[in-house]
Amino acid sequence: MSRRGRLIVLSGPSGVGKDTVLRKLFDIAPKLRYSVSYTTRAPREGEVDGVAYSFVDQATFLDMLAHGEFLETANVHGNLYGTSRQRVEEALARGENIVLKIDVQGAAQLRDRVPDALFIFLEPPSPEDLRERLRSRGTDDDEALRRRADDAERELNEAERYDHRVVNDDVDRAAWEILDIVVASRDENGDG
Ligand code: 5GP
């Protein structure tokens, strides 16, 4: 009988480097799956539909929401984001561990709905470091940047609600630490 997969929730403030760490994580752990979210946000340059996100308009998103198609949703920086219930369920049923890169509001919804999920928070080495990373990213205008910096501060205060906190002081090190956490949790459950 095949074992059910594990849901791995990764949160962290905007600009902390979640995408870079996740790219490394999938390099070193190719069996891990990634849950592609739906969003009403416009694609940024280079973002491919169905890879970075599934990009939908607001009417489509709200229709999916009404039909119970999301495991969790959140309004982040004025845009809607949601995790596909079907994509996650299918992966877990296949025995795959699936990673969700979601904000703290979404993670809070999953604490009740998926109690055995693994909750990991990626932190910057310092708040100053995060401000600098946000500024240097340069994908946002001033207004969006301000909003992201404010939200980032609020998100940092949520860190203590997570099972594990990983500092992104070095991309490779942080990715390996996350992988260690995933492997250790599987052993703890006695189902590895
Ligand atoms: P970005 O627009 O910069 O890609 O993402 C903005 C924020 O939305 C990030 O903190 C990201 O983790 C979060 N996010 C992305 N997809 C989802 C999702 O499906 N659900 C929730 N709750 N947050 C998401």
What are 19-63's pLDDT values in tens digits? 999 999 999 999 999 999 999 999 999 999 999 999 999 999 999
User: How high is the pLDDT of residue 132?
Assistant: 85
Share of the chain above pLDDT 90, in %: 74
Share of the chain above pLDDT 70, in %: 95
Tell whether ligand 1 has an atom less than 6 A from the beta carbon of residue 147: no
User: How high is the pLDDT of residue 144?
Assistant: 80
Tell whether ligand 1 has an atom less than 6 A from the beta carbon of residue 5: no
Distance 180 CA to ligand 1 centre (A): 24
Tell whether ligand 1 has an atom less than 6 A from the beta carbon of residue 148: no
- Is the pLDDT at 175 greater than 90, yes or no? yes
Q: pLDDT category, 101, cuts 50, 70, 90?
A: very high
- Is the pLDDT at 76 greater than 80, yes or no? yes
Distance 25 CA to ligand 1 centre (A): 18
- Rounded to 5°, the CA angle 87-93-97 comes to 75
Give alpha helix (H) positions in the chain: 18-28, 58-66, 85-93, 104-113, 127-137, 142-156, 171-188
Tell whether ligand 1 has an atom less than 6 A from the beta carbon of residue 168: no
- Is the pLDDT at 192 greater than 50, yes or no? no
